[in-house]
Amino acid sequence: MVKALRYYPLPTKTSIRLVNLWPSKQHDDQIVCQFRIADLRDNPKYYALSYTWGAPNPAVKIICNEQPIDVTPSLAAALRRLRYEDYQHLLWVDAICINQSDQEERSLQVAMMKEIYDSASHVYIWLGEEEKGVDKRVRHMLEYITFGYRLDVEIFEGKVPFIPPSTELTRSRRLKFDSAGWAALVKFFSHPWFKRIWVMQEAAASTAHMVYYGSEMIDWADVCYSALYLQGANYPTMIPGLGNLTVPTITYLYRRHSLLDLLHLTAHSKASEPRDKIFALLGLSIEGLELDNYPSLKPDYGKSIVEVYADVVHHLVRNPHNGHNSKLGVLSLVQHDIDDMMNSENWFPSWIPRWDKDRPSKSIGFSSSSKAYHASNNEPVQISDVKPKTKLMLRGLCVDMITTVNEFPHFLEKPANRRSAIHVLWTEILSSSKRYPNGDSVLKALAMVMLSGFSDDTILGTSSFDSANISYHLLHALELDIESVTGRSLGTATMSKKTREASEPPPFRFFCGDRLFLITTKGYIGLGPATMQPGDLVCILFGGITPFILRAKDDYYTLVGEAYVYGLMEGEAIREWQSGRLIEEWYLLR
């Protein structure tokens, strides 16, 4: 039986453990290392390892401080690859250098993680062993793509002249790789390392990086430039791993950002420890520069997941420099699973974002259009202190109640639901002779709702998807269905041929995500969370830029999520309140 490694307390708050990796000329020799204590204030020379822990079994035995210990196969492979033949190698490796069973030490060391990586002479990125030949092919492809990226930048900056398309150099940048080359690139960018939340701090460190992939050493800059080039050229459809890739994100992180922006940016990053979704970002955040002023944010593995997440929300709601144009921007990150909303024993407060889960839809509050929205018309957030901290008390307005929830945005993708969706659309909206509550036409309101709050020109790079064209495309797509259900035509024949052919129909699912269509008692229409129900309330919370959907319980409310409701995005409800037509009240969220 392997005994746990004996750790002695670190002498100072700036002390770290390093491991001296002993040399060996034989690859398969047992790994042997020895602890060395260092103080970051003394500027020690060492190298930091960034890797994925991987599966724990089959565990590999190594010798550390003359004691046998188990490490993961991934770490053992990395140490063998980094081990020199003739001299020792001084490394910082989180799994060994931090006493993982000591919560206090673990919390203190995690708070220093950014400094640990910044202080290293080099950061080694270990992406594992690879089939012979694949690693070399990937290195060559990344170097090739990087050349194209740098050339594009130099042309844009005027450092080199534009090269006509007929030249060999321009043709070489078309990335006509064979199937084996693309398969190798897909495999490389699909490596779990690229999705780790800790990668943000490790790879954004202000020091040199080198990627070890099989037998090859790849310049980290080549990985970053290639990822940027491929994403800009719409290659994510060919290389799925690029879709949620953290590399372009990392290049954005060489300057600090607010914790809220980082949480939004890293929504799809992974962490085996849910609290690390917060702790891994503190060193990169503006708040991380002054953690002594925000003790509730300091890494503390003694707290539960809910406590850690609740402290973050309370901080972001109460502090003005959260980097977003709304103090309640953090509530825009709340997206629930249907199972969570239906489970009466759900232990997670409804107003706390589930940073430990993937969000299915893009956040309206963080869309490219969000700066144009002022649902609460810049009214300051009003919050009341309540205990325990798993509750949140906010002040706002109840504007309306949802009467109908419909899958209309997705009817093109779900033919089985099309007839019922179109029937509701016709009977409750389009057949009405009434104007929209704000005086606009119902068709214009419907067209704007289908944008789901996203700016057409900034998202799609074109101005062709304005509200008028979307109206025409909707009419054109709906005409036969409306006729089949109602026997009446919407009159799309009056649409000019030039208008119909002006652009392709916009990708409605892109704008709508997984949201559903809502209709309210007063006739408002919009898009809201997939978990909303008839009877839910459309509310404006002071300090928010979007409306929020709340569900009334016995003596409290649950936050269902944000919404886009046409006619309530520009402070209209606040003006009604100021004129005495709406009444403010407190909402206790649980």
Asked whether residue 61 is assigned to any structural domain, the reply reads: yes
Q: What's the pLDDT band for 472 if we cut at 50, 70, 90?
A: low
Which secondary structure element, helix H or strand E, spans residue 62, and what is its range? strand 60-64
Stronger pLDDT, 322 or 225, i.e. the higher one: 225
Asked whether residue 71 is assigned to any structural domain, the reply reads: yes
Asked whether residue 190 is assigned to any structural domain, the reply reads: no
> Which residues are paired to 550 by β-bridges?
537, 559
CB 215 within 8 Å of CB 132: yes
The two three-digit tokens of residue 150, written as one number? 């740098």
CB atoms within 10 A of CB 344: 5
Buried-state track 187-209, b at ≥16 Cβ within 10 A, e below 16: ebbeeebbbbbbbbbbbbbeeeb
Q: Is the pLDDT of residue 239 over 80?
A: no
Average pLDDT over residues 448-466: 52
pLDDT in tens, 46-102: 999 999 998 888 999 999 999 999 999 999 999 999 999 999 999 999 999 999 999
CB 91 within 8 Å of CB 21: yes
Give the pLDDT of residue 569: 93
Q: Is the pLDDT of residue 183 over 80?
A: yes
Average pLDDT over residues 372-395: 92
- Please spell the DSSP secondary structure of 513-527, one letter per residue: TT-EEEEETTS-EEE
Average pLDDT over residues 400-414: 74
Give the pLDDT of residue 373: 86
Q: What's the pLDDT band for 342 if we cut at 50, 70, 90?
A: low
Q: Is the pLDDT of residue 454 over 50?
A: yes
CB 473 within 8 Å of CB 446: no
Mean of pLDDT over the chain = 81
Q: What's the pLDDT band for 261 if we cut at 50, 70, 90?
A: confident
Give the pLDDT of residue 160: 44
Asked whether residue 46 is assigned to any structural domain, the reply reads: yes
Give the pLDDT of residue 475: 57
Q: Is the pLDDT of residue 184 over 70?
A: yes
The two three-digit tokens of residue 189, written as one number? 């960018």
Q: What percent of the chain has pLDDT over 90?
A: 48
Three-class secondary structure of residue 92 per DSSP? strand
CB 95 within 8 Å of CB 72: yes
Give the pLDDT of residue 478: 57
Buried-state track 8-21, b at ≥16 Cβ within 10 A, e below 16: eebeeeebbbbbeb
Whole-angstrom CA distances from 79 to 33, 92, 428 are 10, 11, 66
Average pLDDT over residues 508-519: 75
Among 455, 235, 255, CA closest to 366:
455
What is the 3-state composition of the chain as percent helix, strand, coil, each rounded to the nearest 5?
40, 15, 45
Give the pLDDT of residue 523: 92
CB 574 within 8 Å of CB 584: no
Q: Is the pLDDT of residue 349 over 60?
A: yes
Question: Regarding beta strands 67-71 and 60-64, do their DSSP bridges make them parallel or antiparallel, or are they unpaired?
Answer: antiparallel
Among 107, 106, 42, 53, CA closest to 76:
53
* CA gap 136, 143 in Å, rounded: 11
Domain count, the chain: 1
Whole-angstrom CA distances from 529 to 148, 362, 374 are 42, 11, 20
Stronger pLDDT, 104 or 156, i.e. the higher one: 104
Stronger pLDDT, 179 or 430, i.e. the higher one: 179
Residue span of the structural domain in which 105 resides: 15-126
Q: What percent of the chain has pLDDT over 70?
A: 73
Q: Is the pLDDT of residue 452 over 90?
A: no
Angular region, 352: left φ>0, alpha ψ -120 to 50, beta rest: beta
Q: What's the pLDDT band for 493 if we cut at 50, 70, 90?
A: very low
Give the pLDDT of residue 122: 94
Asked whether residue 100 is assigned to any structural domain, the reply reads: yes
Average pLDDT over residues 349-353: 95
Give the pLDDT of residue 460: 36
Of 75-84, 231-240, 253-262, 483-492, where does mean pLDDT reach its minimum?
483-492
Whole-angstrom CA distances from 129 to 19, 76, 79, 351, 481 are 22, 11, 12, 43, 55
Give the pLDDT of residue 432: 62
Q: Is the pLDDT of residue 300 over 80?
A: yes
Of 12-21, 28-37, 475-484, where does mean pLDDT reach its minimum?
475-484
> Which residues are paired to 257 by β-bridges?
285
Asked whether residue 465 is assigned to any structural domain, the reply reads: no
Asked whether residue 443 is assigned to any structural domain, the reply reads: no
Asked whether residue 23 is assigned to any structural domain, the reply reads: yes
Of 79-93, 303-317, 325-339, 528-542, where does mean pLDDT reach its minimum?
325-339
CB 491 within 8 Å of CB 467: no
